[in-house]
Amino acid sequence: MEHAAYYEHAVGADPDAALRRRQLDNPREMARLRGVVEAIPADARRVLDVGCGAGIALSLLARARPEVAATGLELSARAADTGRRLFGVDIVQGSAAALPFADDAFDVVLATELLEHLPHGIYDAARRELARVAPRAIITVPFRERRAQVQCPACGCRFNPFYHLRSFDDADLAGLLPGMRRADLHITWTRGFFPGIRAARRLKAALGHPPPLPRETLCPQCGFHRPPAAGDGPEPKRPARRLLYAAMARIPRPRRPRWARAAYARG
Ligand SMILES: [Zn+2]
């Protein structure tokens, strides 16, 4: 499976609906993107967002800071088209491993939810490229994520359903960008898992019952995927399960880290 094929597939049959469901109508996602935009230093005039998707962060930036020249880079041609059409943002199609920009062409480079997706080879190239095109960078990645796995019913391969290929901890983030030092680290926290639930899921998977492949998820080995649900909406939860979840939501749980936003500066 080609690396780029994931991203074309992830956009889905209806890019606008996918964008609404995953980001625009998702308060946590939008808060994360607003946090990134607010973290951009006040003196920045040229900003690049690598792996910008449909350019929501760019559109938030354009609204908040019209003096900033904002550019996006996106591997998926369809995501880039969606962003240009919906938000009128400037998006260049290309790979994070070979940014089509001169050294220091920007004041700040952003990469949000990009690095955890990059396969071996592309990952190191992208880290070098991010450090090359701007003297400052803002990166967000899932922090200390314990990646769950699903199993493809066609070929049996196990993989993370969000295509997260790596996790990041404090040490990973400290040395992330070559020639740059980490200037700031901000962690977003969320409610943790119920004690025992993860252990039970792992045991179930070990006994040959891994969780089913979510819709929209493409097997990275053989390309298998389930057909999309009618209406392209989330799968409905059964009423009993909904009641159970509502009751469980009232039980206090310890918090766990979700996202890290790290700022870097050269030198
Ligand atoms: Zn497969």
pLDDT digits (tens, 9 = 90+) for 71-115: 999 999 999 999 999 999 999 999 999 999 999 999 999 999 999
CA of 159 relative to ligand 1 center, distance in Å = 10
Pairwise CA distance, residues 34 & 193, whole Å: 26
Q: Which residues surround ligand 1, an ion (CB under 5 A)?
A: 152, 154-155, 219, 221-222, 224
CA of 114 relative to ligand 1 center, distance in Å = 23
The domain limits of the chain are: 3-148+162-192+257-266
Sign of the dihedral through C-alpha 124, 130, 136, 140: negative
Residue 85: its pLDDT value, please?
94
CA of 224 relative to ligand 1 center, distance in Å = 5
pLDDT band at 177 (very low <50, low <70, confident <90, very high): very high
Q: Which of 28, 27, 58, 26 is nearest to 258 (CA)?
A: 28
CA 253 remoteness from chain centre = 25
Burial class of 137 by CB neighbour count within 10 A (0 to 12, 13 to 18, 19+)? buried
- Which 3 state secondary structure label does DSSP give 231? helix
| More confident of the two residues 45 and 10 | 45
CA of 30 relative to ligand 1 center, distance in Å = 32
CA of 184 relative to ligand 1 center, distance in Å = 40
Burial class of 238 by CB neighbour count within 10 A (0 to 12, 13 to 18, 19+)? exposed
Residue 6 pLDDT greater than 80, yes or no: no
| More confident of the two residues 52 and 225 | 52
CA of 18 relative to ligand 1 center, distance in Å = 23
CA of 209 relative to ligand 1 center, distance in Å = 16
Q: Are strands 108-112 and 90-93 parallel, antiparallel or unpaired?
A: unpaired
Residue 217: its pLDDT value, please?
81
For the packed helices 56-64 and 27-39, what is the interaxial angle rounded to 10 degrees? 50
pLDDT, averaged across the chain: 88
CA of 219 relative to ligand 1 center, distance in Å = 5
Pairwise CA distance, residues 190 & 72, whole Å: 29
For the packed helices 77-87 and 3-11, what is the interaxial angle rounded to 10 degrees? 40
Q: Of the CATH numbers 3.40.640.10, 3.40.50.150, 2.30.40.10, 3.40.50.720, which one belongs to the domain with range 3-148+162-192+257-266?
A: 3.40.50.150
CA of 237 relative to ligand 1 center, distance in Å = 26
User: In this predicted structure, which of 117-126, 132-141, 236-245 has the lowest mean pLDDT?
Assistant: 236-245
Instruction: Give the pair of three-digit tokens for residue 166.
Output: 């790596």
CA of 160 relative to ligand 1 center, distance in Å = 12
